[in-house]
Structure 1
């Protein structure tokens, strides 16, 4: 179930898979997929199931189907490292996805730009659309509201007794929203919200504001 938020008088939908959809622009924002990470770890002996390689692509299919966006913008760290077998899967996914694809490069995006250009994917250091700044690293810039990633935000909540749970989240401050990592093999970093911050946690198939 998506969660509707209004930012700068524009309507956005938060998806429990971790993406954000800007309805007016038909633009889907996704951050930190880290494709290739499973293959990278398997190469060095990590006991990661092979079927995990396909999980991210199934989830990408799901969120694209839910919104059917005109454009998809990846906010950095689309790939975890250098080329591996998952690039072919990515090529196949791009070929069957009708949306225009953009990439705001992150610190992990080290694959040669020419490889993306062959797939008609445009790469940018950052993007500005109306009053919104799209970056990989968090950055608060005067006059803009920023959408970014990189942090893989999560929040720790108290459960019953001494129980503690850590949930991925969309982390919104006055002029910035940090998207959760979309990738399924990425880990998270706990953030401590200030009173003025807004936190939207991902709980199974729902978004819950805490």
Structure 2
């Protein structure tokens, strides 16, 4: 069974989920970043050998999270679609079927850099699209990890990972949440996204995700 890790941040309780998402109980909201639907298809269009089935797997993971938490809304912190290749008939059919399974759910997309290139999702998906920041007290929900003048930021874009180093030179890269007073980062949700190695600054908290657990670095 997947085990969430509740934390307190800016006076709010947030549940860090092993599947690289945040559940915000007070808002009944699921937050994800960097879904990158259609990325594998974009690479295949360039004749790159990449895995198939990533869209179906990503949407199935979203299904599982939405079905296991009391959600009124899904908020996507940018890069829902990777590129215009995500508008292909097969991918759109998968998205339509996913949306029909959650037809009463409010879905909000905070535009990211890839969304601007890919274009907004089709209107039939009933996804509200907005530029950053989306202000939901006490947070500014953004794609870009830039400070906001009055709100603590929850953002994506970076795809943060942390390197664990063992005594015998073992190395393990794991996706992570980085929680800081000004700007906090969510790991990339998508199946085919890679990661950027982060080094936490003074006062930042790092929470690693692996398997079915989330745990505090050094905890």
1:152–1:181 contact (8 Å) kept in structure 2:
yes
- Once structures 1 and 2 are overlaid, which stretch shifts more, 73-82 or 47-56? 47-56
Instruction: Report the Cα offset of residue 160 of structure 1.
Output: 3.6
> Quick check: 1:146–1:175 contact (8 Å CA) kept in 2?
yes
- Could you say which residue in structure 1 is the equivalent of 2:181? 174
Tell me what 1:20 maps to.
22
TM-aligned CA distance change 1:143 to 1:41, over 3 Å:
same
Q: How many residues align?
A: 209
User: What is the alpha-carbon distance in structure 1 between the residues aligned to residue 160 and residue 10 of structure 2?
Assistant: 22
Q: Give ranges in structure 2 of 5+ residues lacking alignment.
A: none
RMSD of the TM alignment (CA)? 1.4
User: Kindly tell me: are residues 73 and 116 of structure 1, through their superposed partners in 2, closer, same or farther at Cα, counting changes over 3 Å?
Assistant: farther
The TM-score normalised by the length of structure 2 is 0.90
What residue in structure 2 maps to residue 136 of structure 1?
143
Query: C-alpha separation between the residues in 1 aligned to 2:138 and 2:163?
Result: 32
SS at match of 1:55: helix
**1:169-191: CA deviation from partner (whole Å, max 9, x where unpaired):** 00111222100000010000001
Q: Which residue of 2 aligns with 1:183?
A: 190
Higher mean C-alpha displacement, 84-93 vs 199-208: 84-93
Q: State the partner residue of 2:212.
A: 205
2:113 is the alignment partner of 1:102 = no
Q: 1:111 offset after TM fit, Å? A: 3.7
What is the TM-score when the length of structure 1 is the normalising length?
0.94
Distance in 2 between the 1:165 and 1:112 partners?
36
Higher helix share: 2
Q: Deviations over 1:136-180 (max 9, x none)?
A: 000112321111100000111112411111111001112221000
Q: Secondary structure at the match of 1:38?
A: helix
- In the TM superposition, residue 45 of structure 1 has moved relative to its aligned partner by 2.4
* Structure 1 runs, 4 residues or longer, greater than 6 Å off: none
**1:66 deviation in Å?**
1.8
- SS in structure 2 at match of 1:108: helix
Counterpart residue number, 1:72: 74
Give the equivalent residue in structure 2 for 1:123: 129
